[in-house]
C-alpha cells in the first residue's frame, strides 16, 4: 500500500527484487549443476548467464517459471584445419545431455534438449537451461565471446560477459538508475507486451535510459522512475523499429527474432503506452498510483 507516487515506486522497486526463498533455491540449483558438470571433465567450465549475470532479473509472479541460465564451456572454438571438420552444434548438445544423464538425480528429472539448451525442470517452479559453448578464438578480439548452437548445424556468437559488463558500466555512469528502471520495464513487458524478449528490452533500455538521465541532470530537472518510464516509451516507439545491439558486442542484433511487421506492432503499443504515461505523469495520490499500477501490473502497490 502507498499514498503517494514516491512511496509507490519505492515499494515497487523492492517488490521486484528476488526474495530470499527463491534466491536460496536458485543458488542451490545452479551450484549443484555446475559442480557436477565441472567434476565430470577437467577442462569444462560453467558460469551464470542471462539476466542473472546482468543483475536484471525480477521476482516471478506466482505461476511463472523462473529460468536459471548456465553456460557450459567445452573449450576453444578454433578455425577448422585441413583434414578436420570441427564440432557440430548437435554434437555439443548431445554431449551436454549425456553428461546430465550420467547423474542419477538429473537422469530421473528427464533432461530435455531444446535448441540451444538442455533443460532441467524442478518441482519448485524453477528450471535450469544449460547452453553448450566454445570460446571464440576466430574473431577479434580472440578469446572473448562464445559460439553457441543456433540449430542442428549452425553456430552463432554470443558475447555474454561483455554485454553484462557494458550494462553494469552504463548503470554506474547514470548513478544506478538504469538497472532498476530495466526491472520496472520488464514488469510492464509481462503485463502489456510479452512478445518482446527480455534481452531485447534490456539492450533497448540501455541505449535510452542513460541518455535520459544525462539530459535531466544537464537541465537540473528533478526526475524519478516514472519520468524515465515515460521517456523510454516516448523514444522507444521509434527506436524499436531499428536494429538493436550493444556497441562493440559480438552478440547478434537483439531484435533479429522479430519481423518488421512485429516491430511495427510493438512500436504502436509503445506509442499508446507513451500517450497513457503522458496522461498520468502529473497525477499523484490514488489516481496516480492506480494509473501506474495499470501499466506495471500486480507488483505495483495499490493506493492506501
| Class at the top of the CATH hierarchy for domain 5-15+163-296 | mainly alpha
DSSP 8-state assignment for residue 57: -
Domain 20-158 grouped into CATH 3.30.460.90: yes
Residue 204 pLDDT grade (very low, low, confident, very high; cuts 50, 70, 90)? very high
Burial 73-111 (b: 16+ CB within 10 A, else e): bbeebeeeeeeeeebebeebbebbbebbeebeebeebeb
CA distance 181 to 10: 12
Q: Which three cell numbers stand for residue 251?
A: 552478440
**What's the chain's length in residues?**
304
* Lowest-confidence segment of 108-117, 234-243, 278-287 by average pLDDT: 108-117
What is the per-residue pLDDT across 267-288, written as a single tens digit (0 to 9) for each? 999 999 999 999 999 999 999 9
Query: Which region holds residue 19: left if phi is over 0, alpha if psi is between -120 and 50, else beta?
Result: beta
**pTM beyond 0.85, yes or no:** yes
Instruction: Judge whether residue 82 has pLDDT over 50.
Output: no
Cβ atoms within 10 A of the Cβ of 40, count?
Answer: 13
The domain segmentation of the chain, as residue ranges, is: 5-15+163-296, 20-158
Angle at Cα 104 formed by Cα 99 and Cα 105, nearest 5°? 100
| 3-class state of residue 287 by DSSP | helix
Identical fold between 5-15+163-296 and 20-158: no
> What DSSP element (H or E) covers 120?
strand 117-121
How much is the pLDDT for 83?
Answer: 47
Amino acid at each position: 500500500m502507498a499514498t503517494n507516487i514516491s512511496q509507490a515506486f519505492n515499494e515497487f522497486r523492492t517488490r521486484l527484487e528476488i526474495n530470499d526463498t527463491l534466491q536460496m533455491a536458485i543458488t542451490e540449483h545452479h551450484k549443484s549443476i555446475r559442480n557436477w558438470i565441472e567434476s565430470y571433465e577437467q577442462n569444462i567450465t560453467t558460469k551464470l548467464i542471462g539476466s542473472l549475470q546482468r543483475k536484471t532479473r525480477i521476482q516471478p509472479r506466482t505461476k511463472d517459471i523462473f529460468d536459471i541460465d548456465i553456460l557450459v564451456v567445452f573449450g576453444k572454438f578454433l578455425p577448422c584445419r585441413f583434414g578436420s571438420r570441427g564440432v557440430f552444434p548437435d554434437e555439443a548438445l548431445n554431449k551436454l545431455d549425456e553428461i546430465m544423464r550420467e547423474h542419477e538425480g538429473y537422469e530421473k528429472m528427464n533432461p530435455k534438449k531444446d535448441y540451444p539448451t538442455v533443460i532441467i525442470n524442478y518441482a519448485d517452479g524453477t528450471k535450469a537451461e544449460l547452453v553448450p559453448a566454445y570460446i571464440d578464438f576466430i574473431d577479434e578480439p580472440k578469446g572473448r565471446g562464445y559460439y553457441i548452437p543456433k540449430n542442428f548445424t549452425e553456430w552463432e556468437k554470443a558475447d555474454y560477459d561483455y554485454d553484462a559488463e557494458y550494462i553494469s558500466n552504463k548503470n554506474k555512469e547514470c548513478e544506478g538508475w538504469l538497472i532498476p528502471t530495466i526491472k520496472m520495464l520488464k514488469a510492464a513487458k509481462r503485463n502489456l507486451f510479452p512478445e518482446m524478449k527480455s534481452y531485447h528490452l534490456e539492450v533497448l533500455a540501455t541505449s535510452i535510459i542513460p541518455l535520459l538521465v544525462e539530459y535531466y541532470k544537464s537541465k537540473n530537472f528533478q526526475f524519478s522512475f516514472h519520468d524515465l518510464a515515460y521517456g523510454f516509451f516516448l523514444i522507444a516507439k521509434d527506436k524499436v523499429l531499428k536494429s538493436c545491439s550493444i556497441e562493440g558486442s559480438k552478440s547478434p542484433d537483439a531484435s533479429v527474432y522479430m519481423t518488421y511487421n512485429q516491430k511495427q506492432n510493438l512500436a504502436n503499443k509503445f506509442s499508446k503506452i507513451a500517450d497513457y504515461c503522458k496522461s498520468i505523469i502529473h497525477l499523484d495520490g490514488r489516481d496516480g498510483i492506480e494509473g501506474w499500477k495499470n501499466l506495471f501490473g500486480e507488483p505495483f502497490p495499490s493506493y492506501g
